[in-house]
Amino acid sequence: MGLEVRILGLRYAAGGAEILKGVNAVVPEGGITCVVGPSGAGKSTLLRAVNRLIEPTAGEVYLDGSPTSEMDPLVLRRRVGMVFQLPALFGTSVEDAVLYGARLAEKDVDAGRLLEMAGLDPLFGKRDPQTLSVGQQQRVSIARALALEPEVLLMDEPTSALDEAARRRIEDLIRELNACLELTIVLVSHALDQVERVADRVVLLAAGRSEGEWSKEEFFSGEGGERARQFISGRL
């Protein structure tokens, strides 16, 4: 399932600052699209607008051609999963944490299989989530999102709280899930080396506006235009 973003404006409160001013982007089905940009560009806000954790003030996001504003937000969020910067797990066991959303949706899933998909031993299911490392907890939160069999997975800087080794392993997992499940992934990242390793496509955001979208090769080759070059060289 592909996404098409046409957000004209988004502010948190009436009269407040406009966080997104104009974002046009296409997320092709089955690919990994990285959203990059300086901090404060509105990257996390953009992700939250896609699964309607925040309502855009003007504009629309289309999932597989249908406007998401007309969908039941609960149904939309089951189709478009999300992984946050920090794991935020619920429940007293890893298994409870993994099954949280699936239970709400009355969906019968195998927690052990999901943990395996996220690269964890199914035996982890009985453990208290708080006893796991942050990297392992982040895998649990990925398993929890996969439990709903989403068509698109939004990931908001999922490795920013992890050390280098854990970061690399999550990056491998992201590529693996994309390849094996043909899962469409939108990854917000502030690390260019990560984008280079993981992305198929790159969307650049600055001060609430999209500055362009490119294939990864185009973006990093320097042929992506002035704004892309400015961002890569840290001048944006």
Partner 1 sequence: MEGFETLLSALLTLGLVAVAVALSLYQRLDLEKDIGVAVVRSFVQLAAIGYAINYIFALESLPAVVLLLAGMVGFAAWTSARRARGMPRALPVAAGAIGVAAVATLGALLLLQVVPPTAQYLIPLGGMVIGNSMNTASLTLARVRDDVAEQRLKVEAALALGATSRQAVSPILKTALRSAMIPLIDSTKTTGIIFLPGAMVGMIIAGADPLEAARLQIVVMYMLLGSVSIAAILVGLLSYRSLFTPRHQLRPDPREG
List interacting residues with partner 1 (CB under 8 A): 12-13, 48, 51-55, 73-75, 77-78, 81-82, 84, 86, 88, 90, 100-101, 104-105, 141, 144-145, 148
How many Å apart are CA 49 and CA 166, to the nearest integer? Answer: 28
CB of 216 to partner 1, least distance (A): 27
Cα four-point dihedral sign 145, 146, 150, 154 = positive
How many Å apart are CA 120 and CA 97, to the nearest integer? Answer: 14
CB of 47 to partner 1, least distance (A): 10
| Pairing mode of beta strands 23-27, 32-36 | unpaired
Q: Name residue, tokens 């001013």.
A: 21
Nearer residue to partner 1 within complex by CB, 55 or 163? 55
Nearer residue to partner 1 within complex by CB, 141 or 194? 141
CB of 144 to partner 1, least distance (A): 7
Nearer residue to partner 1 within complex by CB, 96 or 200? 96
The DSSP 8-state label assigned to residue 22 in this structure reads B
CB of 81 to partner 1, least distance (A): 7
The DSSP 8-state label assigned to residue 29 in this structure reads T
Nearer residue to partner 1 within complex by CB, 14 or 165? 14
Helix axes 134-146, 94-104, angle to 10 degrees: 20
